[in-house]
């Protein structure tokens, strides 16, 4: 695999195989958690969730609807700006429904916390959060995922949905970005 590593990646920390295995385990959690649910809505936070969500729903066996939101506290760079902008809202009505927010990474938690606050005003039956990567040591708000794939290191990560200036999301692995390319 080392020969196929993007030159902007210092080190792969989660291989394609490791990601696939863990995401299958997370899908089992979704199936168990929502086994007796009617009206599950899975909300993907774009753009980073796409590879994770696409892989996840292959193994999700409970009926669900998919919807998406775009919210950002980043401006195409590598640091959270702190203020949150809702760029695209979801289309589905969530009142009385179970909502599962799917995110690629929780870092400061600012963006996701704002999204959760907005969705709570719409009276869902429940809201849970599933993230592929968790960086709890970076939190600026009191927010935790209900389930996560991996505790991620305090590094700038790219691949599998994670980007640098909207690029590198397509890498089939997650790696540490080489800051020489900043």
Parallel, antiparallel, or unpaired: how do β-strands 126-134 and 98-106 relate?
parallel
- The reply to whether 174 falls in a domain is no
- The reply to whether 135 falls in a domain is yes
- The reply to whether 70 falls in a domain is yes
State the pLDDT at residue 85. Answer: 84
- The reply to whether 27 falls in a domain is yes
Number of domains observed in the structure of the chain:
1
Residues in the chain with pLDDT < 70? 1-3, 74-82
67 has catalytic annotation: no
- The reply to whether 98 falls in a domain is yes
CATH number of the domain at 56, please.
3.40.50.2020
pLDDT tens per residue across span 109-121: 999 999 999 999 9
- The reply to whether 50 falls in a domain is yes
- The reply to whether 177 falls in a domain is no
Q: What is the pTM of this model?
A: 0.92
Catalytic residue among 98, 104, 107, 134: 107
Domain of residue 79: give its range.
17-31+38-154
- The reply to whether 2 falls in a domain is no
């Amino acid at each position: 695999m080392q020969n196929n590593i993007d030159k902007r990646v210092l080190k792969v920390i989660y291989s394609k195989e490791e990601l696939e295995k863990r995401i299958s385990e997370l899908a089992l959690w979704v199936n168990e958690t929502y086994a007796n649910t009617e009206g599950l809505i899975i909300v993907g936070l774009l753009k980073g969730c796409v590879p994770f969500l696409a892989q996840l729903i292959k193994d999700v066996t409970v009926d669900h609807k998919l919807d998406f939101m775009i919210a950002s506290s980043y401006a195409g760079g590598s640091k959270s700006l702190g203020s949150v902008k809702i760029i695209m809202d979801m289309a589905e009505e969530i009142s009385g429904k179970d909502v599962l927010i799917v995110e690629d990474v929780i870092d400061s938690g600012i963006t996701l916390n704002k999204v959760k606050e907005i969705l709570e005003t719409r009276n869902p039956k429940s809201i849970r959060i599933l993230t592929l990567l968790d960086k709890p040591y970076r939190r600026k708000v009191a927010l935790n995922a209900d389930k996560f794939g991996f505790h991620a290191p305090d590094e700038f990560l790219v691949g599998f949905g994670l980007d640098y200036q909207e690029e590198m999301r397509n890498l089939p692995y997650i790696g540490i970005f080489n800051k020489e390319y900043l």
